[in-house]
Amino acid sequence: MKKMMTGNEAVAYGAYLNGVRVGAAYPGTPSTEIMDNFSRYPGVYAEWAPNEKVALDVGIGAAYTGARALVSMKHVGINVAADSLFYSVYTGLKGGLVLVSSDDPGMHSSQNEQDNRNYAKFAKLPMLEPSDSEEAKQFMGIALEMSETFDTPVMLRTVTRISHSSTPVEISNEEPPAAPPEPPLYERDAVKFVMVPANARRRHPIVEERIKKLAEYAENTPINRIEPGDDTIGIIAAGSVYQYAREVFPEATFLKLGMVYPLPAKLLHQFASQVKTVVVIEELDPFFEDQIRLMGIETRGKDIFPIIGEFSPALIRERSVSAGLISTPAAGAEVAAAAATATELPIRPPILCPGCGHRGMFHVFRESGALVLGDIGCYTLGYAPPLSGMHTSGCMGASIGVAHGIDKAVVKDRTIAVIGDSTFFHSGIHPLIDALYNESTVTVVIADNSVTAMTGHQQHPGTGITLQKKNTRAINPEQVVRSLGFEKVDICDPYDLNGLAQTLEDHLESGKPSVIIARRPCVLYTKAKSAAPQIDPELCVNCGTCLELGCSPLMQKEDCVTIDPVLCNGCGLCVQVCPAGAIIKQ
Amino acid sequence: MKKVDILMAGVGGQGTILASNILAEVGLELGYDVKKSEVHGMAQRGGTVESHVRWGEKVYAPLVEQGHADYLIGFEMLETARWPGYLKEGTVVIINRYRIPPPAVNLGKAKYPSEQEIEALLKGAGGRVIWIEGTGIAGELGNPAMVGVVLLGALSNLLGGEEETWLKVIQRLVPEKFLELNKKAFLSGKALQVA
Ligand SMILES: Cc1ncc(C[n+]2csc(CCOP(=O)(O)OP(=O)(O)O)c2C)c(N)n1
């Protein structure tokens, strides 16, 4: 029987089928649904760790015992977990460990489009890349086995179009292997697992030897295969790009790589000798191309296809026509260009939801005139006009350290660092320690909507609920910061604009490092809704002040503003900012 | 076996994901190879959402190629107008007569295109445009969020497949307590008998 599954669902299913018993992750688009789905299978343990490094250490620990483990994260999560990735390649493991990296070419929901295939080469471990959901399921099994055979973690790379595309998956009737009846005793082997220099020096040759053996394995694995066809053009591709290229070159000879590192040199030479022109089609970096060139194989690649952005069948067709590889012209492009010039359509950027607590906070920030050093989450949307309440945002956890650095470099501006609650637990605590230890004057605002909202409402250490829906201790940010030694700590409701503004002013002028917790649970999550306020058209002077909140139910009409009662959640911010008293709370 | 490429366009929260899931499962029931793609994430925060569903004997890419769409299903007028590049001569465009003004329009800084402008844009690219009061019909049944199922009902007249097949898939994908209403929504869409 076949079932439609997203790549993420299939990765989770493959892990379950192959006896993975421990899973750990931190949410991040497009990876989030992997652990979400895995956590619902019977007999497994799965958690949201506070960040990706912790998640990977959890997976490594489980695999050290001989259990199979799954760790998943978005591409930038691997940066956070990189230190653990590198040591685990040296120590090896006992049970299979698969680390899923979900990359985001095109940056649908990310701050960069780094190509994580580079990590496989950098950290010296094998990487597989599925091209649809059926492969995602199967490659999980292959990766786990490879991990155990070669005593190494294995990376599985997906991209947004694999993670979030649904394709048919064969459903198995077999039961996953059962857990051992008795808990095993941990096998202690300090020389293998304690990476002091003396031991690490012994391990490094093993790592080098292992990657050579894996390159041998890559020559014969069925997941690297030549698909014979017309010999004029031989295309090398992997993952989603393989599918796009198949669409554009139905007749060509293909080398489809399921294992993207290490590469099979002999197979590549054999392939090159079978075709007249070799063409590598790969999104982002020339990862295959550079290595293939070093093998002495002549190939085309980035001279034709871009290094930036997401590919599509249309893009591959257009570039291939320009390069003279095919003659069928791409359709639609002219029509699109003509239509675009004919009518300019207003864009529809993502915005803070009606009733979002972050909105009041950014309104107050803007009014304060302070410099706001930001972080990543829904609240990053507060940077955009009309709120315009944030001035930097680089990666998760950056806000407080950047604010502290600006403080030490001395600028005239007063500084606020703003960080979400999930981000606070992810990577906000260490920079707070720095702010105290090295005597910053920054005012830190924790934008606490009591959930990880941006990625679809995951639990986190502050919510009191685990991924597998168990009640647990809720770690309170206020207690955390007080225990660190912050003396000036206040909790405010960002719906109360005056209250928050006064507290903020007090903190900014205090000359001390301090923390404000701006707490208002996410309305999209709680579904809280109060009646929409009414606008008195007699009083409304149509000045547009309320529109500066950037709240979608507020619409400017000919002679007054109106509120769409269906969209409005009744937060009352517009009532507070209206200078004419024309908006009346119901 | 013919190839069927379908695009859906709308605004986050309008239910395009459920509709595209139903469409994909129906394709599978009808014996096609099926692929489907959509982007979640930032888009959910009131932004633009798109969904690609492809049926065929063997489907490679999960993305519909520009100039190749057989159907464009527009959940919102402005969002439908963004896709002329994907149309070809004869593409059927089923468009829900419903506006969700984007921020710039609310702020009075941009103009929402008129129905005539949108229709001209789609027709100019070869589209055969069919207007439907999907949100209105779903609203009368009790929940405007069922607009996607109404649109699928209309589309089912053109795509074929037994009514039971569609209803069976809806039964599988819609939560029990909303099932009867959704079936009604589907049948109301089907009763429009678009051709
Ligand atoms: C290293 C890393 N991991 C994950 C993400 C994806 N991500 C972006 S924001 C965010 C969480 C935001 O939650 P929170 O701080 O509570 O803010 P909210 O969205 O709830 O306002 C996540 C998981 C990322 N960008 N970088």
CATH of the domain at A335: 3.40.50.920
Beta-strand relationship, A415-420 and A371-373? parallel
Q: Which helix H or strand E contains A69, and what residues bound it?
A: strand A68-74
Residue A577 forms part of a structural domain = yes
Subunit contact A550:B103, Cβ cutoff 8 A: yes
Backbone angles phi, psi at A419, to 5 degrees: -145, 140
Q: What is the pLDDT of residues A66-101, one digit of tens each?
A: 999 999 999 999 999 999 999 999 999 999 999 999
| pLDDT confidence bin for B2, thresholds 50/70/90 | confident
Do A13 and A95 lie in a common domain?
yes
In contact, A239 and A131? CB cutoff 8 Å: yes
Domain count, chain A: 4
pLDDT of residue A344: 84
- In degrees, to the nearest 5, what angle opens at C-alpha A370 toward C-alphas A364 and A376? 75
Q: Which comes out higher in pLDDT, residue B42 or A391?
A: A391
DSSP-H helix ranges across A300-428: 313-322, 333-342, 357-368, 398-409, 421-423
Subunit contact B121:A456, Cβ cutoff 8 A: no
Residue B82 forms part of a structural domain = yes
Structure tokens at A118: 């580079």
State whether the beta carbon of A96 lies less than 6 angstroms from ligand 1.
Answer: no
- Interface contact A4, partner B, CB < 8 A: yes
- Interface contact A521, partner B, CB < 8 A: no
Structure tokens at A250: 């139905």
Lowest mean pLDDT among B33-47, B55-69, B153-167: B33-47
pLDDT of residue A333: 65
Backbone angles phi, psi at A510, to 5 degrees: -75, -20
Structure tokens at B43: 């888009």
Q: What is the mean pLDDT of residues A332-347?
A: 72
- Interface contact A555, partner B, CB < 8 A: yes
Closest CA to A432 of A488, A383, A475, A471: A488
Work out whether the CA dihedral A254, A256, A261, A263 comes out positive or negative. Answer: negative
Which residues in chain B are contacts of A386 at CB distance < 8 A? 107
State whether the beta carbon of A361 lies less than 6 angstroms from ligand 1.
Answer: no
Strand spans (E) along A371-456: 371-373, 415-420, 443-448
Structure tokens at B79: 């969002």
The CATH number of residue A554's host domain is: 3.30.70.20
Residue A351 forms part of a structural domain = no
A351 min Cα distance to partner chain B (Å): 6
pLDDT of residue A337: 66
pLDDT of residue A397: 98
Residue A349 forms part of a structural domain = no
The CATH number of residue B60's host domain is: 3.40.920.10
Compute the distance between CA of residue A557 and CA of residue A393 in angstroms, rounded to an integer.
35
Burial of A209 (0-12, 13-18, 19+ CB in 10 A): exposed
> How many angstroms separate the Cα of A237 from the Cα of each of A217, A249, A278, B145?
19, 12, 11, 41
Residue A55 forms part of a structural domain = yes
Residue B98 forms part of a structural domain = yes
A384 min Cα distance to partner chain B (Å): 11
Do A414 and A265 lie in a common domain?
no
> How many angstroms separate the Cα of B80 from the Cα of each of A15, B45, B48, B115?
39, 18, 10, 11
Q: What is the pLDDT of residues A450-493, one digit of tens each?
A: 999 999 999 999 999 999 999 999 999 999 999 999 999 999 99
What ipTM is given for this predicted complex?
0.94
pLDDT of residue A339: 67
Mean pLDDT for all residues in chain B:
93
State whether the beta carbon of A452 lies less than 6 angstroms from ligand 1.
Answer: yes
Q: What is the pLDDT of residues A260-304, one digit of tens each?
A: 999 999 999 999 999 999 999 999 999 999 999 999 999 999 999
- Nearest residue (by CA) to ligand 1, atom 20, is A453
Do A127 and A191 lie in a common domain?
yes
Q: What is the DSSP letter of A380?
A: G
Structure tokens at A48: 């949201």
Atom of ligand 1 nearest to the CA of A422: 16
Cβ-Cβ pairs closer than 8 A, A with B, add up to: 175
Subunit contact A330:B66, Cβ cutoff 8 A: yes
Residue A162 forms part of a structural domain = yes
Which residues in chain B are contacts of A2 at CB distance < 8 A? 28
Domain count, chain B: 1
Those of residues 100-119 in A touching chain B at CB distance below 8 A are 108-109
In contact, A186 and A231? CB cutoff 8 Å: no
Closest CA to B43 of B61, B20, B23, B17: B17
Q: Is residue B41's pLDDT more than 90?
A: no
Do A73 and A210 lie in a common domain?
yes
pLDDT of residue A540: 97
Which residues in chain A are contacts of B34 at CB distance < 8 A? 4, 166-168
Subunit contact B81:A343, Cβ cutoff 8 A: yes
Q: Which helix H or strand E contains A155, and what residues bound it?
A: strand A154-159
Q: Is residue A143's pLDDT more than 60?
A: yes
Those of residues 434-463 in A touching chain B at CB distance below 8 A are 454-456
Three-state SS for B11?
Answer: strand
Q: What is the mean pLDDT of residues A147-167?
A: 98
A274 min Cα distance to partner chain B (Å): 24
Closest CA to B52 of A13, A160, A242: A160
Q: What is the DSSP letter of A434?
A: H
Q: What is the pLDDT of residues B93-152, one digit of tens each?
A: 999 999 998 988 988 889 999 999 999 999 999 999 999 999 999 999 998 889 999 999
Mutation target for B interface from A243, A341, A348: give the one with most B CBs within 10 A: A348
Residue A350 forms part of a structural domain = no
Whole-number Å distance, alpha carbon A423 to ligand 1 midpoint, is 6
Q: Which helix H or strand E contains A230, and what residues bound it?
A: strand A230-238
- Interface contact A346, partner B, CB < 8 A: yes
Share of chain A above pLDDT 90, in %: 92
In contact, A128 and A223? CB cutoff 8 Å: yes
Which residues in chain B are contacts of A29 at CB distance < 8 A? 40-42
Closest CA to B25 of B45, B53, B51, B2: B53
Q: What is the DSSP letter of A171?
A: P
Q: Is residue A367's pLDDT more than 80?
A: yes
Work out whether the CA dihedral A45, A46, A50, A51 comes out positive or negative. Answer: positive
DSSP A453-493: TTTT-B--TTTSB-TT--B-PPPPHHHHHHHHT---EEEE-
Do A367 and A482 lie in a common domain?
yes
pLDDT of residue A28: 97
Peptide bond into B144 cis (omega under 30): no
- Which of A19-43 are b and which e, b meaning 16 or more Cβ less than 10 Å from the residue's Cβ? bbbbbbbbbbbbbbbbbbbbbebee
Number of H helices, E strands in chain A: 22, 22
- Nearest residue (by CA) to ligand 1, atom 1, is A77
pLDDT of residue A328: 76
Compute the distance between CA of residue B133 and CA of residue B139 in angstroms, rounded to an integer.
10
Mutation target for B interface from A135, A335, A546: give the one with most B CBs within 10 A: A335
Share of chain B above pLDDT 90, in %: 82
Those of residues 372-411 in A touching chain B at CB distance below 8 A are 378, 381, 386
Residue B195 forms part of a structural domain = no
Do A250 and A294 lie in a common domain?
yes
> How many angstroms separate the Cα of A407 from the Cα of each of A115, A393, A517?
34, 16, 21
- Interface contact B68, partner A, CB < 8 A: yes
Subunit contact A351:B81, Cβ cutoff 8 A: no
Q: Which residues contact B154 (CB under 8 A, 6 or more apart)?
A: B94, B130, B132, B134, B189, B190, B192, B194
Structure tokens at A176: 């996953």
Q: Which comes out higher in pLDDT, residue A504 or A566?
A: A504
One-letter amino acid of A80: V
Last residue of a domain, one of A220, A244, A261: A220
pLDDT of residue B107: 83
Do A547 and A495 lie in a common domain?
no
Compute the distance between CA of residue A70 and CA of residue A25 in angstroms, rounded to an integer.
8
Other beta carbons less than 10 A from residue A296's beta carbon: 10
Subunit contact B24:A386, Cβ cutoff 8 A: no
Q: What is the DSSP letter of B89?
A: T
> How many angstroms separate the Cα of B73 from the Cα of each of A265, B29, B40, B90?
47, 21, 18, 14
Residue B118 forms part of a structural domain = yes
Q: Which residues pair with A445 in a beta bridge?
A: A418, A516
> How many angstroms separate the Cα of B10 from the Cα of each of A448, B49, B147?
30, 5, 11
In contact, A24 and A50? CB cutoff 8 Å: no
Do A265 and A287 lie in a common domain?
yes
Other beta carbons less than 10 A from residue A226's beta carbon: 15
pLDDT of residue A228: 98
Compute the distance between CA of residue A370 and CA of residue B167 in angstroms, rounded to an integer.
57
Do A11 and A150 lie in a common domain?
yes
In contact, A125 and A89? CB cutoff 8 Å: yes
Structural domain range at position B91: 4-190
Structure tokens at A329: 């012209």
A123 min Cα distance to partner chain B (Å): 29
- Interface contact A152, partner B, CB < 8 A: no
Three-state SS for A261?
Answer: strand
Which residues in chain B are contacts of A108 at CB distance < 8 A? 39, 41-43
Do A228 and A215 lie in a common domain?
no
Mean pLDDT for all residues in chain A:
96
pLDDT of residue A168: 97
Do A436 and A289 lie in a common domain?
no
Whole-number Å distance, alpha carbon A46 to ligand 1 midpoint, is 19
pLDDT of residue A332: 67
Other beta carbons less than 10 A from residue A204's beta carbon: 13
Which residues in chain A are contacts of B103 at CB distance < 8 A? 348-349, 351, 550, 552
- Against a cut of 0.90, is the pTM above it? yes
Q: Is residue B43's pLDDT more than 60?
A: no
Three-state SS for A248?
Answer: helix
Do A214 and A74 lie in a common domain?
yes
- Interface contact B88, partner A, CB < 8 A: yes
Structure tokens at A314: 């249309």
Which residues in chain B are contacts of A552 at CB distance < 8 A? 46, 103, 106
Residue B57 forms part of a structural domain = yes
B131 min Cα distance to partner chain A (Å): 20
Last residue of a domain, one of A176, A203, A220: A220
Strand order in the sheet with A2-6: A2-6, A165-170, B33-38, B48-56, B4-11, B71-74, B92-96, B128-132
Which residue on chain B is closest to A339 by alpha carbon? B121
In contact, B59 and B72? CB cutoff 8 Å: no
Residue A547 forms part of a structural domain = yes
Structural domain range at position A281: 224-342
- Nearest residue (by CA) to ligand 1, atom 15, is A420
Burial of B71 (0-12, 13-18, 19+ CB in 10 A): buried
Q: What is the mean pLDDT of residues A367-392?
A: 96
Which residues in chain B are contacts of A456 at CB distance < 8 A? 40, 44
Lowest mean pLDDT among A123-137, B30-44, B102-116: B30-44
Closest CA to A522 of A434, A472, A457, A471: A457
Last residue of a domain, one of A484, A500, A526: A526
State whether the beta carbon of A376 lies less than 6 angstroms from ligand 1.
Answer: yes
- Interface contact B29, partner A, CB < 8 A: no
Q: Is residue A331's pLDDT more than 80?
A: no
